[in-house]
Structure 1
Amino acid sequence: MTTRTAEGALPLERLLGKASATALEKYLGLRTVAELLNYFPRRYLNRGELTPISGLPFDEDVTLIARVLSVSNRRMRQRKGSITDVVISDDTSAGTGTLKISFFNGWRAEKELRPGARAMFSGKVGFFNRALTLTNPDYVLLDDEGTAESVALAPIPVYPAVAKLPSWKIGNAISALLDAVQLDALSDPLPAEILSREKFLALDQAYLMIHRPANTEQWQRARDRFRYQEALLLQTALARRRAQTKAQHAVARPGLSDGLLAAFDAALPFTLTDGQRAVGEQISAELAAGAGDSAASSEGPMHRLLQGEVGSGKTLVALRAMLQVIDSGGQAALLAPTEVLAAQHYQSIRKTLGPLAEAGMLGGDEQGTQLALLTGTMNTAAKKASLLAAASGQAGIVIGTHALLSDQVQFFDLGLIVVDEQHRFGVEQRDALRLKAAHPPHLLVMTATPIPRTVAMTVFGDLETSVLKELPAGRAPISSFVVGLAENPGWSRRIWQRSREEIDAGHQVYVVCPRIGEQEGSEAASGDEPEDSAGESRELTSVIEMVEQLRREPSLVGCRIEALHGKLDPAEKSRVMADFAAGLVHVLVSTTVIEVGVDVPNATLMVIMDADRFGISQLHQLRGRVGRGGLPGTALLVTELEPEHPSRRRIDAVAATTDGFALSQEDLKLRREGDILGASQSGGRSALRLLRVLDHEELIEQARADASALIAADPTLSAHPDLEEAIEASLNPEKEAFLERG
C-alpha cells in the first residue's frame, strides 16, 4: 500500500478519537478518512435564499430563519412511531407568519427545537390538512442573537443525517478531519489528462471547497469535479464488465433454416411488428456470432436488455430467441418473479407453440420440443418430472421462479437465460443460473417498466439495450380517468354500475386494492409510502373488505366475485386465476399480484382503489392488464384525496398519457432517485451521491466515452492504479449489485 493510498485508508479513530469514530461508524457506516471526506453535503443554506413564511411557494425548496413558538408530540395512528409538530414564526419586513413543521420520529427535533430557539430551516414546502407545511426539513440552530442579517456569509453545509447524529455534528467531525489529514497526500482517481482537459480542481482543493466553501462558486466547482468522478468510476466499472463479458467464449447458436423457429414463424397467424422483426434480427445475429469460425464465439455471449411497453410483444421476441437456441441443440430458461407469472408464461407459451410444444407426445410435432414448469409449491411428482426433463434435455424451455436456482436443478445444455422483470432479481440470482451452464450462456433480460436512456446507460451499462415501442395490431387503446371521491362522493356508486355495464357486455373487471386485509401489510408499493401522504389516518381499501362489499353491492347481484392475493394457498390462487381466465369469474379483486404478465384478453375494466398509494410506473403496469384482446380498455384511478393534494399529481400524470417513457421521466422527478435505481437494496441510501441520471445526461455520456477509451487502451487499468483502487473501494460487492438491479 502506497503512502497516498494509506492516507485515505487511515481509520477515523486515529485522527478524531474513539468517541467520534464510533458514532460515525455506528450511525453512518463510515470507518476511514476517505469515507468521511466523501460524505458530501446534501445542500447548502445561503443567506440570499431566505424566504419569509408569508411568501412560501408550494412544492419548492425554501430556506427560512424562524423562532420556535411551540413543540408537541403525538403518536401515529396507522403505523408505529410518533410525529413531533413544531410551530415556528418569523418577523420580517414582509410581515409576520407562522408555520407548522412535522418531524417523523423526531426525537432530536423535540429535544433541540425548544420554544424560543432560533434556527435556519430548509426543505420542500408540502401540503397537509389544507395548509402549507415542511416535513422533516433540515435545520441548523443559530445563536439567539443571530438574525437573517447576521448569519455568516459563507454557505452552511447540510449533511445527510440521522436522529442520533445530526448534520452539525457530522460537519464538526469533517472540519476536524480537514485540519488533521494531509489532503495533498491523498491519491487522486482522475487521470491527469482528464483533470487538465476539464480544468477540474485538484483533489485537496476540491475537498476543502465542498466542505468549507467561502462562497457558492467554490462548492459548485468542487461538486462538478466530484460528480464527474462518480460518473467515471461507475462507467469504468461497467466498461470493464463489458470487456470481461466479450472476452468470454460463448457457444454460438445460429439455429436452422428449416427448424423449429421456421415452423413456428410459418404458423404465426399474424405479422410481426417492424420493431419485433428488427430486435429479433439483432438478437438472432448476436446468438449466432462466431458460428462460421468455430463452436465458440469470439464476441462473447449476448447480454441484452429488452424493454418495451406493456403489450409490446417482448415475450414473443424472447420466445423466438429461445427457439433459435433449441434449433442449435441448446436449452433456454425463463426466470419469472412470481408463481402466477411463471404459470402464465408456461400456459401462454404452450398455447402459442401448440403441437410444437408437444414433441414425443400423441399429436405433437416431431420438429418440436417440450416445456417444463418448476415452482416452489409444485408437488413432488411434478417437480421430479420437471427436473428430469431439464437435466435430460427433453425440455427445450424450462420456465420457473426462484426454484430454478436450486442446487437440484441441472440442465443438459443451457444456452440462453431469459429474465422477466429484471428489477425483481439481484445479481446473485442471475449468476446462480449462469453457473448451471457448461459454457457462458447468452442473456436476455426483459422489463415492461420504461427506463429513461440515462438510467439504462447507468444502471444497465453492462447490457446492450433494445426498445419495443410499437404495439402489435389488435391492441386497443386504454383510457384512464381519475375518480376523485373527495369532490364527487356520488361517483362511488357509479364505479360499480360502470363495472356491471362491462359485465353485461360479456367482459370482466379487475379491482385492485393496496392491502390484503385488516391486519395485513400492503402489497402495493415496493418502496416507502409517498412522503407527502405519510402520517395520514385514512383507512386504505383491502381485498377482503372489498370482496365482502361488492358481494352486497346491488349493481353486481348475480356476479361471481373472487379474491386474489399473495397470502392465498397456491392451489387456491391457481384455481381463481384459471376461473378468471376462463370467464367464470366476473370481478377479480386483487392486490398487485396481477401487476405483470397476467393476460386475460376479456378483461376490459380496471378499478384501482386508493390509486394515490401506488407509484407512477406501478399504475402504468397495472392498467396494462386491460385492453389486451382488441377491446378498448378503461382504468379508473380512484382516490379520496383532495384535488390540490400533492399525491394527486402522480395519478393525474398517469391519466394524462399512456406514454410509458414520458411517465418514467415524471416518476424520476417525483420519487427519490435511489428508489428508481434500486439502491434501497443496500441500506436505503442511493449509491449515487451527486450524480442524478435524469439531469446529467451529457456528463454521463462523456464519462462513458472516457471510460470506454480507458478500458480499450488498458483493460486491467494497470496504468491507472488510483482509479482502479477507487472503483474497488466505492463499488464493493453490495453496491455493485445495485448496478444490475435497476
Structure 2
Amino acid sequence: MATLADRLDHVLGRKTADALHDAFGMTTVEDLLRHYPHRYATQGAELGESRPAEGQHITIIARVESAQEVPMKSRAGKRLAVRLRSDRHSIDVTFFNPHRVKHNIKPGVRAMFSGTVKYFRDKWSLTHPSYLVLPEPRDAEDLVSATPARVRGAGALAGLARTAQDGSGVDMSVFDRALIPMYRATREVESWTVMRCVRQVLDQLDHVDDPLPEWVRDEHGFVGLDEALRSIHLPDTKQEIDRARDRLRFDEAAAVQLVLAGRRHDVEVRSAPSCPRREGGIADEFDRRLPFELTAGQLSVADEIAADLAREHPMNRLLQGEVGSGKTIVALRAMLQVIDSGRQCALLAPTEVLAAQHARSLTKMLGDLAAAGELGAHELATRVTLLTGSMGVARKRAALNEAVTGDAGIVIGTHALIEDTVQFFDLGLVVIDEQHRFGVEQRDALRSRGRDGASPHVLVMTATPIPRTIAMTVLGDLEVSTLRELPRGRSPIVSRVVPAKVHPKWVDRAWERIREEVAEGRQAYVVCSRIGDGDSDDDALFDPDGPEPSGSGKGKQAPPETVSVLEQFEFLTSGPLRDLRVGLLHGRLPGDEKDAVMQAFNAAELDVLVCTTVVEVGVDVPNATVMVIVDADRFGVSQLHQLRGRVGRGGHQGLCLLVTDAKPATPTMMRLEAVAGTTDGFELAQLDLQLRREGDVLGVAQSGTVSTLRLLSLVDDADVIEAARDFSRTVTEKDPGLEHHPGLASMVRAALDAERVAYLDKS
C-alpha cells in the first residue's frame, strides 16, 4: 500500500519516477495526484445541448455512422467526409488524406477523436482530428479469454495506440468509462502515461486522512480529501468532478491563505519606530507652501499612512492608483512625517532614469527644505541624496557618508541601495516605487536595515492597479490604499490604434502629428520594444502572449520582426523628423549620458525622445503631449497603460498612438483596441489578468507561464478565496505555526514547495 508522502520511485519504479520528475518536478505520490486532469474525453453526453465554442479543443468517444470520399471543391483531390454519432449528437469530421485513414475510419467503428472545433456556415465540425480506434466494450467473462484487439491511432493519439498494443500503456478498459481523464503532458511523458501512473497509484493508495477540520467541511459541504482525489482522476459523473474540484480548489486557496496568515502574524510581532505627526515640523511647513489643494483621495490615503507610521509595528501598505493620480506627493508627505521623528527614508526606484527623476522632482518640490547644510537653507531643512550604481567613486562615497551619518533625510537610489556597503543612521521608512519591478530578495534587503533590530515601515507604490482578488491573495500582509481621482486640470489621454499593414499612410500621419505638436511648442516620445545592438536588452519587455503552455512539448516560435530603437532613431532623424531636435535614450547608455539626455528633454532642449521602456514609470515631463509606441503588440496591457501615462501630464491634451502590424479581428488587435478604448486602469488591470492569468502567485514568475494554482482562479473564485481567508484567520489566531494542525501544515507544504514558501516569507 502507499501514502501521499511515499516517493514515486518506490511505487512506480525509478525509470518512470525519473521521467515524471524531469517532466513535471514530481517526487511524491501527492505530487502525482495533484496533477489533475485538465479535461475529460466523453462518450458525447457532456456536450449537452449547447454548441462548443470556436477554437475549443474537445475529445469525445463516438461511433462512425458514415465515411465517404468526396471531391474537394477548391482544389484537386479528395477528402474523407465522416459523420459521427455520439449520444444524441451528430458530428461532422473531415480528413484530407483519405488514403491514410479510410482503412481505420469505417462505418461502425468506435473511436476517440480529439481536435479543435471549427465553424462553417453556422455548423461546427472537427478537421483532421487525432483519433484512437477503440475495442468494443466486453463483458467480464469475455475479457479473460478474448485475444486483445489491435489498437490503432493517429496524430497525438498514435503513441497511446502504440503503448496499448505493446502492453506498456494504459489499460484500454478505461475507455469504457463515461469520462476519461486527459492530462497536461510533454513530448516525453504523454497523457496516457500519466493516466497509467495515476491508476497504478490509486490502486495502492491507503485511505487519505483529511487535513481540513470537520467543521469547515460541514460548513461548505465539502467531500473528504480521499474522495476528492479519487473522483477527480476517475469520475463516473460530471457531478463528481464538480464536487472534487470544489474541495481541491478550496485546498489551494487555504494553503495560500495559511501562509499569508503566518506572514501577517510575523509582521504583528515585529517592532518598528513610531513616527507620529509633529506639529510645526518640516511636514507642516511643506503643506503650508503647497501651491495647490490635495484631492480628497490624497488626503484620505495620507491619513491612513500617517496612522500606520505612528504605530510601533511596521507599516506594510500598498499605494496603488492611476498614472498621474498623485502618489509621489502622498509618499513625500509620509517621508517628511518620518523625518520629523528624527529618522531617515529610502526611496527605491527600478531604473537610474527614474531615480534621478525622483531626486530632481523631490528637491524641486521641497525647495530650500531640501538644502540642509547649504547657505540659505530653511531651519527645518533636510537633504535629498541620490545613490546609483553608475556614479563616480567620489560622488558615491559622499552619498554613502550622508546616508550613514544621517545627514540625508531622504536617500534615493536603484538596486545600489540594497548593497551591503550602504548603511543608514536610522532608517524609518522604505518607499518602493513600482514594486513589481523588484524581486522579493531585493525588497527584503532594505527591510532589515532598521536600527537596533527594528523593522522600518514599508510603503510600496504601483501605477498599475491590482484587481481585488489579486490583492486579497498575493498581498497577504499588505494593507491597500487606492487613489482613483486625477489631480485637477489633468486631461484624459486619447489613444488610437494605427494598423500599419492595413493603413500604412496612417503611420506617416503619426509622424506629421508629432511635427504639429512640436510646432505648438510641445514635445513627443517614440517608444520601441528593443535596443537593437545584437545583445539581449536590459529594458524589460513583457511578452503579452507568453511561452508555449507548460508541457506542450513545443518550442516557442520566433517573435515577429520588430523595429529597434537604434533603427527608429536613424529613420526619423534622416527622414520624417530630420529638422527636429531628436534624442536617443535606452537602458544600455552610461548613467551620466542617460541623465543628460533626460535633463535635456526636461528642459525642452529636445523636441522628440526616441526611447525604450526606460521611460515607462515615473518620468514626468508636463510639456510632452504625444507618444507613438512602435510595435505596440509587443507590450502587455499594463505596460502600454504605464507608457502612455507619460504624456498629457500638463494642461494640454495627451495623445497615444499604438502602431502595430497585427491583423484586424485577431486577439492581438482586440487587446490593443481594448487599451485604446479606456483609460480606466482598474478595468485594464482586470483585462490584463484575464489575458495573462494568474502566473506563479507565490513564486518568481510575473506572468502566466508557471502556476502554483492548478484549479483556483484569481479571476473567478473571489468567494472561495474569501472563505479560505476567513478559515485561515480562525486557525492561525490560535495556532499561528500550525503546530496543532499537522495535516494543514502538510497541505501547505504539498501545495507550496519549500522554495516558494521561503521566497514568500521574505516578500
Alignment TM-score, normalising by the size of structure 2: 0.84
| CA shift for structure 1 position 28 | 1.2
Distance 1:170 1:703, change over 3 A: same
Residue 71 of structure 2 corresponds to which residue in structure 1? none
Residue 292 of structure 1 corresponds to which residue in structure 2? none
| CA shift for structure 1 position 389 | 0.6
| CA shift for structure 1 position 431 | 1.6
| CA shift for structure 1 position 8 | 2.5
Residue 320 of structure 1 corresponds to which residue in structure 2? 333
Instruction: Find out whether 1:8 has 2:4 as its counterpart.
Output: yes
Instruction: Find out whether 1:568 has 2:589 as its counterpart.
Output: yes
> What code does the residue aligned with 1:525 have?
L
Return the match for 1:404 from 385, 395, 417. Answer: 417
Q: How does 1:578-617 map to 2 (within 5 A)?
A: 578-617=599-638
| Percent pairwise identity | 49
Structure 2: state its 5+ residue gaps: 65-78, 85-89, 106-110, 135-150, 158-173, 550-555
In 2, Cα distance between equivalents of 1:158 and 1:304: 43
| CA shift for structure 1 position 227 | 0.3
Residue 473 of structure 2 corresponds to which residue in structure 1? 458
User: What is the DSSP-based 3-state SS (H/G/I as helix, E as strand, rest coil) of the residue aligned with 1:641?
Assistant: coil
User: What is the DSSP-based 3-state SS (H/G/I as helix, E as strand, rest coil) of the residue aligned with 1:606?
Assistant: strand
Instruction: Find out whether 1:549 has 2:545 as its counterpart.
Output: no
Residue 27 of structure 1 corresponds to which residue in structure 2? 23
Assess if the C-alpha contact under 8 Å between 2:315 and 2:457 holds in 1.
Answer: yes
Return the match for 1:664 from 661, 685, 694. Answer: 685
Residue 353 of structure 2 corresponds to which residue in structure 1? 340
| CA shift for structure 1 position 162 | 2.1
User: What is the DSSP-based 3-state SS (H/G/I as helix, E as strand, rest coil) of the residue aligned with 2:409?
Assistant: strand
Say which is worse superposed, 719-728 or 369-378, in terms of deviation. 719-728
In 2, Cα distance between equivalents of 1:203 and 1:94: 38
> What code does the residue aligned with 1:172 have?
R
Residue 577 of structure 1 corresponds to which residue in structure 2? 598
Q: How does 1:171-182 map to 2 (within 5 A)?
A: 171-182=195-206
Assess if the C-alpha contact under 8 Å between 1:426 and 1:740 holds in 2.
Answer: no
| CA shift for structure 1 position 591 | 1.4
Assess if the C-alpha contact under 8 Å between 1:425 and 1:741 holds in 2.
Answer: no
Return the match for 2:673 from 652, 674, 677. Answer: 652
| CA shift for structure 1 position 96 | 4.7
User: What is the DSSP-based 3-state SS (H/G/I as helix, E as strand, rest coil) of the residue aligned with 2:411?
Assistant: strand
| CA shift for structure 1 position 160 | 2.4
Assess if the C-alpha contact under 8 Å between 2:325 and 2:486 holds in 1.
Answer: yes
**Deviation digits for residues 517-567 of structure 1, max 9, x if unmatched?**
16344646334645799747742121111111111224x231022221122
Return the match for 1:393 from 397, 406, 431. Answer: 406
Instruction: Find out whether 1:236 has 2:281 as its counterpart.
Output: no
Assess if the C-alpha contact under 8 Å between 2:254 and 2:728 holds in 1.
Answer: yes
Assess if the C-alpha contact under 8 Å between 2:282 and 2:336 holds in 1.
Answer: yes
**Deviation digits for residues 94-131 of structure 1, max 9, x if unmatched?**
5454699xxxxxxxxxxxx999798643568799xxxx
Instruction: Find out whether 1:222 has 2:215 as its counterpart.
Output: no
User: What is the DSSP-based 3-state SS (H/G/I as helix, E as strand, rest coil) of the residue aligned with 1:526?
Assistant: coil
Distance 1:115 1:691, change over 3 A: farther
| CA shift for structure 1 position 154 | 2.5
| CA shift for structure 1 position 187 | 4.0
Assess if the C-alpha contact under 8 Å between 2:498 and 2:660 holds in 1.
Answer: yes
User: What is the DSSP-based 3-state SS (H/G/I as helix, E as strand, rest coil) of the residue aligned with 2:695?
Assistant: helix
User: What is the DSSP-based 3-state SS (H/G/I as helix, E as strand, rest coil) of the residue aligned with 1:725?
Assistant: helix
Residue 372 of structure 2 corresponds to which residue in structure 1? 359
> What code does the residue aligned with 1:542 have?
S
Distance 1:666 1:191, change over 3 A: same
**Deviation digits for residues 333-380 of structure 1, max 9, x if unmatched?**
111111111111111111111111111111211201001111111111
Give the RMSD, CA atoms, in angstroms.
Answer: 3.5
In 2, Cα distance between equivalents of 1:124 and 1:310: 41
| CA shift for structure 1 position 700 | 0.8
> What code does the residue aligned with 1:511 have?
V
Q: How does 1:422-501 map to 2 (within 5 A)?
A: 422-438=435-451, 439-501=454-516
User: What is the DSSP-based 3-state SS (H/G/I as helix, E as strand, rest coil) of the residue aligned with 2:614?
Assistant: helix
Instruction: Find out whether 1:164 has 2:164 as its counterpart.
Output: no
> What code does the residue aligned with 2:651 have?
G
Residue 528 of structure 2 corresponds to which residue in structure 1? 513
Residue 40 of structure 2 corresponds to which residue in structure 1? 44
Residue 121 of structure 1 corresponds to which residue in structure 2? 114
Return the match for 2:388 from 350, 354, 375. Answer: 375
> What code does the residue aligned with 1:514 have?
S
In 1, Cα distance between equivalents of 2:474 and 2:488: 32
In 1, Cα distance between equivalents of 2:297 and 2:133: 61
Distance 1:363 1:569, change over 3 A: same
Residue 715 of structure 2 corresponds to which residue in structure 1? 694
In 2, Cα distance between equivalents of 1:165 and 1:243: 42
| CA shift for structure 1 position 181 | 2.1
> What code does the residue aligned with 2:373 have?
G
Structure with bigger gyration radius: 2
User: What is the DSSP-based 3-state SS (H/G/I as helix, E as strand, rest coil) of the residue aligned with 1:24?
Assistant: helix
**Deviation digits for residues 244-301 of structure 1, max 9, x if unmatched?**
2112222210131110100110111111110110000111011112xxxxxxx2xx21
In 2, Cα distance between equivalents of 1:676 and 1:232: 14
In 2, Cα distance between equivalents of 1:482 and 1:169: 47
Distance 1:678 1:240, change over 3 A: closer
In 2, Cα distance between equivalents of 1:576 and 1:415: 34
What is the count of residue pairs matched by the alignment?
690
Assess if the C-alpha contact under 8 Å between 1:49 and 1:63 holds in 2.
Answer: no
| CA shift for structure 1 position 633 | 0.3
In 2, Cα distance between equivalents of 1:260 and 1:489: 56
In 2, Cα distance between equivalents of 1:521 and 1:196: 55
Residue 154 of structure 1 corresponds to which residue in structure 2? 178
Distance 1:239 1:96, change over 3 A: closer
> What code does the residue aligned with 2:742 have?
P
Residue 138 of structure 2 corresponds to which residue in structure 1? none
| CA shift for structure 1 position 640 | 1.6
Return the match for 2:654 from 620, 625, 633. Answer: 633
User: What is the DSSP-based 3-state SS (H/G/I as helix, E as strand, rest coil) of the residue aligned with 2:701?
Assistant: helix
> What code does the residue aligned with 1:10 have?
D
| CA shift for structure 1 position 572 | 2.0
Say which is worse superposed, 377-386 or 156-165, in terms of deviation. 156-165
In 2, Cα distance between equivalents of 1:492 and 1:288: 54
In 2, Cα distance between equivalents of 1:391 and 1:674: 39
> What code does the residue aligned with 2:581 have?
R
Residue 209 of structure 1 corresponds to which residue in structure 2? 231
| CA shift for structure 1 position 191 | 1.6
Residue 725 of structure 1 corresponds to which residue in structure 2? 746
| CA shift for structure 1 position 650 | 0.8
| CA shift for structure 1 position 627 | 0.6
In 1, Cα distance between equivalents of 2:504 and 2:437: 37
Distance 1:141 1:359, change over 3 A: farther
Assess if the C-alpha contact under 8 Å between 1:336 and 1:399 holds in 2.
Answer: yes
| CA shift for structure 1 position 709 | 1.6
In 1, Cα distance between equivalents of 2:415 and 2:759: 19
User: What is the DSSP-based 3-state SS (H/G/I as helix, E as strand, rest coil) of the residue aligned with 2:458?
Assistant: strand
> What code does the residue aligned with 2:730 have?
A
User: What is the DSSP-based 3-state SS (H/G/I as helix, E as strand, rest coil) of the residue aligned with 1:517?
Assistant: coil
Distance 1:568 1:225, change over 3 A: same
> What code does the residue aligned with 1:670 have?
L
**Deviation digits for residues 224-253 of structure 1, max 9, x if unmatched?**
101001111111211121122112222210
Assess if the C-alpha contact under 8 Å between 1:12 and 1:33 holds in 2.
Answer: yes
Distance 1:229 1:575, change over 3 A: same
In 1, Cα distance between equivalents of 2:186 and 2:349: 37
Return the match for 2:542 from 517, 523, 526. Answer: 526
**Deviation digits for residues 478-499 of structure 1, max 9, x if unmatched?**
0001111233222121111111
Structure 1: state its 5+ residue gaps: 68-86, 101-112, 290-296
> What code does the residue aligned with 1:672 have?
R
